[in-house]
């Protein structure tokens, strides 16, 4: 069944295209696509609609930590039997839940005892989710991490033999073995994206934050 309401992911058009390209590539093997997402929202809506439009069969497992947000999204996608939504709310009332363990939220997918073709990490505890994703991928599978420009996520990238920043804030990792030259090329691209982001976007972002804080006082 199709879902009827449209939300868009919190991603740039370029990142959306990359995700769509990955989904199309992975669908070429002809079997049902198994997708896992940490962090429900516009992505749950948008990419499942895209798969429907392309006639690609899927099961989209979406894991969320915020109860109110979960209820909202779950209700909106309730007609889509291909989406399985799971809530792991630590119940401490905190929106961000940064200082909560969230083990269940991270470890739930392993209890499903299946592998995923694409894993999208866009919720809480992203570093741990990327590490967890390592053992959840099909041999051809791919992990995409959003907001990958954040330095504290980047220590886990080396866990994947094929690792690259495919946009200023989107990282892609697979277990594919790559040649030395290709790895070197990827490192160069990742390095350049890093410079591009830090030198051009970070100062602008800091300036906007400073202006916002000045105006908030008044
Ligand atoms: C960066 S958002 C990404 C969600 C989704 N993957 C997307 O692309 O739309 C990550 C988290 O923010 C929270 N969130 C996003 N939008 C929200 C909203 N409008 N109101 C409340 N929480 C929101 C949800 O808990 C979600 O898991």
- Does residue 193 fall inside a structural domain? no
What number of other Cβ atoms are within 10 A of residue 143's Cβ? 27
Read off the pLDDT of residues 124-180 as tens digits, 9 standing for 90 and up: 999 999 999 999 999 999 999 999 999 999 999 999 999 999 988 999 999 987 666
Query: pLDDT by residue (tens digit) across 4-19?
Result: 547 899 999 999 999 9
Ligand 1 closest atom vs CA 120: 6
Nearest CA to ligand 1 atom 26: 39
User: Containing domain of residue 111, as a range?
Assistant: 13-177
Give the number of the atom of ligand 1 that is nearest the alpha carbon of residue 39.
27
Which two tokens mark 146? Answer: 């959003």
**Mean pLDDT of the 106-124 span:** 97
**Centroid of ligand 1 to alpha carbon of 97 (angstroms):** 13
- Is residue 6 one of the residues assigned to a domain? no
Is 216 a member of any domain?
no
The CATH number of the domain where 89 resides is what?
3.40.50.150
> What proportion of the chain, given as a percentage, has pLDDT over 90?
69
In a domain? residue 64: yes
Least Cα distance to 167 among 142, 147, 141 occurs for: 147
Ligand 1 neighbours, Cβ below 6 Å, are 9-11, 39-43, 64, 66, 69, 122-123
Could you tell which of 19, 39, 62 is best to mutate to test the pocket of ligand 1, judged by most ligand atoms within 8 Å of the CB?
A: 39
Q: Measure 148 CA to ligand 1 centroid, in angstroms.
A: 16
99 pLDDT exceeds 60?
no
22 part of a folded domain: yes
pLDDT at residue number 212: 73
How many C-beta atoms lie closer than 10 Å to residue 158's C-beta? 9
What pLDDT digit, counting tens, does each position of 175-199 carry? 987 666 666 666 666 666 666 666 6
Q: What is the pTM of this model?
A: 0.83
d(CA 192, CA 153): 17
Q: Output the pLDDT for position 2.
A: 43
Question: In ligand 1, which atom is closest to the CA atom of 147?
Answer: 1
The answer to whether residue 82 sits within a structural domain is yes
Give which of 187, 50, 191, 193 is closest to 118, Cα–Cα. 50
Q: What is the pLDDT of residues 35-70, one digit of tens each?
A: 999 999 999 999 999 999 999 999 999 999 999 999
Distance 124 CA to ligand 1 centre (A): 10
**Within a domain: 76:** yes
The answer to whether residue 185 sits within a structural domain is no
Q: What is the pLDDT of residue 187?
A: 67
Q: Dihedral, CA atoms, 74, 4, 16, 135, nearest 10 degrees? A: 40
Domain count, the chain: 1
């Amino acid at each position: 069944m199709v879902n009827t309401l449209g939300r868009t992911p919190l991603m740039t058009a370029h990142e959306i295209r990359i995700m769509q390209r990955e989904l199309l590539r992975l669908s070429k093997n002809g079997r049902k696509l198994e997708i896992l997402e940490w962090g429900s929202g516009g992505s749950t809506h948008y990419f499942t609609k895209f798969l429907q439009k392309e006639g690609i069969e899927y099961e989209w497992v979406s894991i969320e930590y915020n109860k109110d947000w979960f209820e909202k999204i779950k209700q909106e996608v309730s007609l889509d039997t291909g989406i399985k939504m799971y809530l792991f709310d630590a119940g401490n009332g905190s929106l961000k839940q940064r200082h909560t363990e969230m083990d269940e939220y991270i470890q739930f997918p392993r209890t499903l005892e299946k592998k995923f073709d694409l894993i999208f990490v866009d919720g809480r505890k992203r570093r741990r989710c990327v590490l967890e994703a390592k053992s959840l991928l099909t041999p051809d599978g791919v992990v995409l991490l959003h907001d990958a420009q954040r330095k504290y996520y980047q220590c886990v990238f080396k866990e994947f033999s094929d690792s690259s920043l495919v946009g200023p804030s989107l990282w892609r990792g697979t277990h594919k073995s790559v040649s030395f030259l290709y790895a070197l090329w990827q490192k160069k691209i990742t390095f350049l994206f890093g410079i591009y982001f830090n030198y051009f976007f970070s100062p602008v972002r800091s300036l906007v934050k400073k202006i916002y804080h000045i105006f908030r006082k008044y």
